Amino acid sequence: MTDMLTGVRTLQNFIDGAWRDASGAEVLEDRNPATGELLAQVPLSTAADVDAAVAAARRAQAAWRETSPLVRTRAIFALRDALVEHRDELAELVTRDMGKTLPDAAAEVGRGIESVEAACGMPHLLKGETLEGVATGVDVSLIRQPVGVIGAITPFNFPAMIPLWFLPYALACGNAFVLKPSERDPLPSERIVRLVSEIDEIPAGLVALVHGGEAVVNALLDHPGVDAISFVGSAATARHVMSRGAANGKRVQALGGAKNAMVIMPDADPDVMVGGVMGSAFGAAGQRCLAGSIAVLVGTREEQDRARDRLVEAASKLRTGDGMDPATDVCPVVSAQARERLAGEIAAAEADGIRVVLDGRGDPGPGGAFLGPTILDDVPAGHRVLTEELFGPILALVRAPDLAAAVELVNASRYGNASVIFTESGGAAREYRYRVQAGMVGVNVGVAAPIAWFPFSGWKDSIDGDLHANGRDAVEFYTRKKVVTERWA
């Protein structure tokens, strides 16, 4: 449906193989954060829409689980080809809707495609185990069967990749899939679901898209027809999703927020270190769950200051602007409201006596969402700039005399998503890798995102649940194990 006055369409849900208007009347505006352009109206769907999506998904799943894993995987190969064919278009959509630079968006789409490629190995991954002759004539075998209907709830910061962390694995394992994308940038999800709808092997109803916010999430969490929930978002929402989903007897994986530290040893290669920290702290304007938002400067005061000066010099050269502009290094944050919140955090830190050694609070741009790289020096332990996930291009510097003190500082966090060390010492790297409490670790790599064949997630408050996304964990999450003990005369 297109608004006569604005010319902007209201998005539709995809339910039972057809695009349909949502039943709720309320809509939210989806704007390009760089330009302020209104891209679409996002309907706030209701429990009735979720109910229709789940009922159709259940019907489709009953037949899909009878479909050979080879045929199911063929559908995933077809999805891979469709995504490759449309990768540039998808990347542009990510940039316009979410804001990140075009190369970053292209990398996101590439990562999403890798996840689809990893799921193409499903016939191998689904194979069970057998132990013959456990007693006279008795054999035991383990088989994997699909869980049923999966509800997926995804965040704004990777609007193409994160739905693709879940959809291909869930389908290849024999499940149906109901996606509730972020209401802030749902266009890439809509495009992906359109591509899915064109794949012959995928039956109508098996994949649904329901737009909306909290009400849709809660309807999925409460619906008896939903068997499992894959969630990615902030820690507070992850906790809510886990408790409500688990209370309703569902299997839940809820990947939450992060506060990732980068340890900079005095022997770090300066170019590697500076390049890694710039990409990590300011890439995607710090709106990644793998963003490095704390730099721990290790060494003597002089060595620490030298590292700080290098970082400030490099960050001051980064250009903030529209992600479509090839000259842009730092994209806008997701909305004018997010920019306002972040500027407030910087002002509050300043009022607490923290030195702002690089201040990004310049021109907010036409969409009101530009915020340049900002560096805060000598942030005292326990300050909210160190403990809270700000999710913007704000880097906090802290000091540690040696590696042991740095590890202690890093491990004091309630989060444990990712952590990175820059050093030329194998011994220091090994010690860090061994002691740090994080699910993803980088050594001389700023954004230590595991490739799709490995599980992706953190520890501590960065996850509620135990199975990570991607890799073998995805197969574990989307299947139930059945053990058969047999005796034949």
Q: Indicate which residues carry an active-site annotation.
A: 289
Look up residue 177 and give its two tokens: 């899939």
CA–CA dist 407, 432 (Å, integer): 7
Look up residue 161 and give its two tokens: 């990749």
- Which of residues 423 and 470 has its CB atom nearest to ligand NAD in the complex? 470
Least separation in angstroms between CB 256 and ligand NAD: 6
Cα dihedral sign for 28, 33, 37, 39?
A: negative
CB 333 within 8 Å of CB 320: no
Helix (H, G, I), strand (E, B) or coil at 360: coil
CA–CA dist 471, 166 (Å, integer): 11
- Which of residues 344 and 362 has its CB atom nearest to ligand NAD in the complex? 344
CA–CA dist 147, 306 (Å, integer): 54
Least separation in angstroms between CB 338 and ligand NAD: 9
63, with CB counted inside 10 A (0-12, 13-18, 19+), is exposed
CA–CA dist 255, 375 (Å, integer): 27
- Which of residues 13 and 417 has its CB atom nearest to ligand NAD in the complex? 417
- Which of residues 208 and 232 has its CB atom nearest to ligand NAD in the complex? 232
Distance of CA 282 to the CA centre of its chain: 17
Q: Residue 443 forms beta bridges with which residues?
A: 421
CB 139 within 8 Å of CB 133: yes
What are φ and ψ of residue 379, in 5° steps? -75, 125
Least separation in angstroms between CB 411 and ligand NAD: 18
Least separation in angstroms between CB 289 and ligand NAD: 3
Least separation in angstroms between CB 238 and ligand NAD: 7
- Which of residues 205 and 212 has its CB atom nearest to ligand NAD in the complex? 212
CA–CA dist 382, 194 (Å, integer): 47
CA–CA dist 339, 145 (Å, integer): 46
- Which of residues 64 and 231 has its CB atom nearest to ligand NAD in the complex? 231
Residues lying near ligand NAD in the complex (CB under 6 A) are found at 153-158, 180, 182-183, 213-214, 217, 232-234, 237, 240, 255-258, 289, 389, 391, 417, 457-458, 462
CA–CA dist 76, 474 (Å, integer): 15
Q: What would the DSSP string read from start to end of 236-298?
A: HHHHHHHHHHHHTT-EEEEE----EEEEE-TTS-HHHHHHHHHHHHHGGGG-STT-EEEEEEE
CA-to-CA dists, residue 181 to 26, 114, 354, angstroms: 17, 20, 37
Look up residue 203 and give its two tokens: 């039956």
Q: Which of 265, 269, 295 is nearest to 280 (CA)?
A: 295
Least separation in angstroms between CB 358 and ligand NAD: 23
Least separation in angstroms between CB 485 and ligand NAD: 39
- Which of residues 264 and 469 has its CB atom nearest to ligand NAD in the complex? 469
- Which of residues 73 and 157 has its CB atom nearest to ligand NAD in the complex? 157
Strands 459-460 and 415-416: antiparallel
Letter for the amino acid at 172?
Answer: A
CA–CA dist 193, 68 (Å, integer): 22
Look up residue 206 and give its two tokens: 């098996």
CA–CA dist 229, 211 (Å, integer): 16
Least separation in angstroms between CB 287 and ligand NAD: 7
| Residue sitting closest to ligand NAD (CB) | 233
Least separation in angstroms between CB 214 and ligand NAD: 4
- Which of residues 43 and 256 has its CB atom nearest to ligand NAD in the complex? 256
